[in-house]
Amino acid sequence: MATPTYYAVMLVDDNEIDNLINQKMIEASGIAKHIYTHTGARSAIEFLRNMEKLDGSSSNTVLPELIFLDIDMPLMDGFQFLDEFGKLSEETQGKCSIVMLTSSISPADVNRSKKYDYVRKYINKPLTLENLEKFKG
């Protein structure tokens, strides 16, 4: 089996079934050693903040290199997550690339996501093996 491209990836989606399907796709692709799953943007941001509090070498190894982020979520949506993500350290922002993974086909959402430097790609659900191939090293 090939070595995973990423140590860890994170799924942020309020739909648990989507998270499960996406997790299975990521496992099948073999691109990541670890998969963190969050059903809310707020808990995902808190997780990242807590990782920053670890000493530098520890946080650097556990931070997800790739974050798959849904837009339409209660309490804190994907864009609010991006705003909070922008307040994290430059090191965290540099290590974590974000992929908008959403059912939204709104051109306004696509354009809005392009305003964030750390958003690497915008793809529509569901996550496919073909999409994941693009993230292999």
pLDDT in tens, 61-91: 789 999 999 999 999 999 999 999 999 999 8
- Which domains, and CATH codes, for the chain? 6-133 (3.40.50.2300)
The model's pTM? 0.93
Q: Which helix (H) or strand (E) holds 92?
A: helix 90-95
Q: Name residues of the chain where pLDDT drops below 50.
A: none
The whole-angstrom separation of Cα 69 and Cα 102 is 7
Percent of the chain at pLDDT exceeding 90: 82
Contact 64, 94 (CB under 8 A): no
Token pair for residue 1?
């089996």
DSSP 8-state secondary structure symbol assigned to residue 134: T
Contact 62, 47 (CB under 8 A): no
